[in-house]
Amino acid sequence: MRVYEFAKLLDVSNKDLLTLLSQNGFEVKSHMAALSSEATEFLNKKLEEQKAPKKTAAEPVKNEKKIEVQVPTSTEKISAQKNLAIKPVEPTKKVEVKEEVSELKHKEHAEIKLSTQPKEIIKEEKPMVIEITTQPMTVGQLADKFGKPSSELILALLRQGVVCAKNQTLSEKMVETLAKQFGVSLVHQQVQKQEMHRISVTTGEHVRKPIVVVIGHVDHGKTTLLDFIRKTRVASREKGGITQHLGAYQAETPQGSLVFLDTPGHEAFKNIRGRGLNIADIAILVIAADDSVMPQTVEAIKTAQAAQVPIIVAINKIDKVEKQRLEVVKRDLTRYDLVPEEWGGQTIFVPISAKTGQGVDQLLEMIVLQSQMMDLRANEQQAADGFVLESKIEKGRGPVATIICRHGTLHVGDFFVAGTVAGKVTSITSSSGQQLKLVGPSIPVQVSGIAELAQAGDIFKVVSEQDFRKARDSRSALSQLTLPKKVFGGEGLNIIVKTDSVLTQEALIDSLVKLADKNEQPFNLIAAGVGDISESDVTLASDTGAEIIGLHVRIESNAATQAQKLAITIHLYDIIYKLLEALEERLEKSAPVKMVAKKIGEAVVRKIFDIKNIGIIAGSYVKEGRFLRDARVIVWRGKRKVGEGKIKGLERDRKSVKEVHAGFEFAFLADGIETWEVDDRVECFIEVPENK
């Protein structure tokens, strides 16, 4: 019998039982470990002792839990931290509280203050320090981080000979150049990832639901697994059966309520997977038994390990393979430090079939056991704060954001800030579509009430009405510079991108940058927006000579009519990899053809004729290949190159011909070659496209 099974019999937590065994001299590694006969005998005695009244048996368990809560003694400190995030700390506070305040709270408080200060004060301060992300960053986003109008950055780029629109993506090198110019120090975003993961810290008074992220290679069954758990057809609603958004769902299971994040497996969505892992408590690595380890499997493992998220491996599609195949998958995963418990490791492996449901209940049980060991808690009494998972525009509601609280309770009517945008909560919708008045930690919901789209990954925080108005006014004060017409008339493909959400836009722009680098051809990203293609998009495309690319969007009727009149090309796609394949094909066709010289023949000079008013003619014999009129020739005398030119005339048997093949004598006149000698070696070359 295993530890967790006996914990159920005793009606105690796995953690309590492990502590009890350790105190009595029994060494047990984890809740999944098998109990020895001595340990079983000891626990059976305990079970007999507690079989009297059940209520009295339950009381010591509660007392044990209270003792464990006192060990970290962090509840009071954390509640003090939360107050510090909203109110300034008085100097008389304890030193302990000052040490425990998280960097994240300081950062959030500083961001609100920075956005409300006048520009003059910012300029007088010491050099600003901001975080630089490895994700694509537009001019507008960088201007927001610098606390300056977009126009200042655009003018700075123009002085360097670079023409950029507000929504055009900047390279990391260009961001560094602008940072130096504006006196800003850059810090890598890895710090922010560690801060984001603070959602998993076990602080506060209330036990919260575990956040479980499902990761793995594309088409290995991640969404199908969630589909079975939720008893809905989520996978069928995703185009092509692949997940293209970060879906967040709350699921009620026999083992308890769980929150799942379904991440895309396609390579283009690497940033989205990383974001999901930084928010989650537990990662379920879904790996197909018939495929074993694949590229995105490795990437998902490394990202989860970097985020220090516990991994539970779900070997899927066991209904398709023999049992021996499971051992192959386990052996493959040991190379990435995922060793099964039965092999002496720490990783839980559960064979499942997401299609039939085989093994899914056991997987859910392991998730609950893992979360119990982590003792996840949150403070529900403070003002809410958390993260933006996704944002998009919905008809009739405007911009909406999918969020998840890490602490506090969010109410309808609360004022909040999220990155550079501010809003007032007008509605809260659960993952099942139910309208809520409030929501606590670890529950994904959709919130409306923001004037514009929030960036995925932004930290949101409930603030006072006064702070909300300051943040909103500071944002609206930033000036914008419109794009000059016909400025993108140079080389490269001019495109306007429209997507259904910020997450999709982020993944698409990141993929376009990689595609351009791969093909050594630039994309001129004229603009990128969220929502259906409108008349203004068509007008901008006409002014800049661009094509419009839409992913998961439609064309408004007026825009379609306008596009037909102006002959604007619009491409609509439902699946991102089909869009990228089509663009790559376009790039290959439009790419300038690189020509290389190809040797097609070799001849030896046998006789020389100097004809007045014509020039020197070389009588030669073709040893191999062929010679063509207008081809280029190189003349060698021994090992020394003595001349190079172009065949101007070609004759055989006193007749002008286009080409001469091996085994025949011929005479030719070449421009650029003045001296000939008998036995000179002549090579003939033509220009052909590279790789052909």
Say whether both 247 and 346 belong to one domain: yes
* Predicted local confidence at residue 129, as pLDDT: 60
Whole-number pLDDT of residue 42: 79
pLDDT at 37: 77
**Structure tokens belonging to residue 595:** 């020509």
User: Of 265-279, 363-377, 579-593, 619-633, which gets the smallest average pLDDT?
Assistant: 265-279
**For the chain, how many structural domains are there in total?**
6
Query: Where on the phi/psi map is residue 192: left (φ > 0), alpha (ψ -120 to 50), or beta?
Result: alpha
Q: Which residue has the higher pLDDT, 163 or 339?
A: 339
Amino acid letter for position 570: I
In a domain, 614, yes or no: yes
- The Cα 142–Cα 166 span in angstroms is 10
> Per-residue pLDDT averaged across 458-477, rounded?
73
Only one residue has tokens 């209270």, namely 66
If asked whether residues 470 and 505 sit together in one domain, one would say no
The upper half-sphere exposure of residue 72, i.e. CA atoms within 13 Å in the direction of its Cβ, equals: 15
Domain range for residue 551? 493-590
Question: 14-18, 197-201, 342-346: which range is least confident on average?
Answer: 197-201
Q: What is the pLDDT of residues 13-71, one digit of tens each?
A: 777 778 888 877 777 777 777 777 777 777 777 766 665 554 444 444 444 433 333 33
- Of 102-111, 151-160, 169-178, the range with the lowest mean pLDDT is 102-111
**Higher confidence at residue 490 or residue 498?**
498
Give residue 88's pLDDT band: very low, low, confident or very high (50, 70, 90).
very low
Q: Which of 309, 341, 375 is the last residue of a domain?
A: 375
Which of 516, 506, 405, 495 has the alpha carbon at shortest distance from 454?
A: 506
Do 294 and 145 lie in a common domain? no
Dist CA 27 CA 455 (whole Å): 48
Segment 537-561 shows an average pLDDT of 85
How do residues 249-274 score in pLDDT, each as one tens digit? 777 767 677 888 765 533 434 455 45
Helix H or strand E encompassing 186: strand 184-188
The whole-number average pLDDT for the span 283-288 is 91
Q: How far apart are CA 591 and CA 583, in angstroms?
A: 12
Grade residue 657 by pLDDT with cuts at 50, 70 and 90.
Answer: very high
Is 91's pLDDT higher than 50?
no
CATH number at residue 23: 1.10.10
Q: Are residues 234 and 320 in the same domain?
A: yes
Select from 568, 590, 612 the last residue of a domain: 590
Tokens 């059966």 correspond to what residue?
Answer: 241
Which range (168-177, 443-452, 517-526) has the least confidence?
A: 517-526
What pLDDT score does 217 carry?
84
pLDDT exceeds 70 at position 245 = no
CA–CA separation, 144 vs 163, rounded Å?
A: 19
Encoded tokens for 623: 């040893």
Q: What percent of the chain has pLDDT over 90?
A: 12
**Rounded distance between C-alpha atoms, residue 239 and residue 674, angstroms:** 69
- Based on the domain organization, do 337 and 430 belong to the same domain? no
Confidence class for position 314, pLDDT limits 50, 70, 90: very high
- Bridge partners (DSSP) of residue 351 are 315
Residues 248 and 227 occupy one common structural domain: yes
Q: Is the pLDDT of residue 479 over 70?
A: no
3-state DSSP assignment of residue 137:
strand
pLDDT of amino acid 487: 30
The answer to whether the beta carbons of residues 521 and 508 sit under 8 Å apart is no
Q: Between residues 466 and 65, which one has the greater pLDDT?
A: 466
Query: How many C-beta atoms lie closer than 10 Å to residue 586's C-beta?
Result: 15
- Give residue 275's pLDDT band: very low, low, confident or very high (50, 70, 90): low
544 pLDDT above the threshold of 60? yes
Q: What is the pLDDT of residue 178?
A: 84
Mean residue pLDDT of the chain comes to 74
Structure tokens at 186: 């850059």
pLDDT at position 558: 86
492: pLDDT confidence band, cut at 50, 70 and 90? low
CATH number at residue 511: 3.40.50.10050
Question: 311: how many CB neighbours lie within 10 A of its CB?
Answer: 22
Q: Which residues lie across from 263 on neighbouring strands?
A: none
Q: CB neighbours (10 Å) of residue 48?
A: 9
For residue 236, the one-letter residue type is S
With a cut of 70, say whether residue 166 has pLDDT above it.
no
pLDDT for 355 beyond 80: yes
Looking at the structure, tell me whether residues 345 and 272 fall in a common domain. yes
Whole-number Å distance between alpha carbons of 544 and 529 = 16
| 78 assigned to some structural domain | no
Q: How far is CA 660 from CA 94, 473, 600, in A?
A: 97, 80, 11
Q: Which residue has the higher pLDDT, 573 or 510?
A: 573
Query: Quick one: pLDDT at residue 578?
Result: 84
Task: Indicate whether 621 and 660 sit together in one domain.
Answer: yes
pLDDT bucket at 621, cuts 50 / 70 / 90: very high
Is 232 domain-assigned? yes
Q: Which residues pair with 244 in a beta bridge?
A: none
CA dist list (Å): 280 to 27, 83, 211, 681:
30, 25, 5, 73
Average pLDDT over residues 471-496: 48
**What token pair was written down for 181?**
């110019």
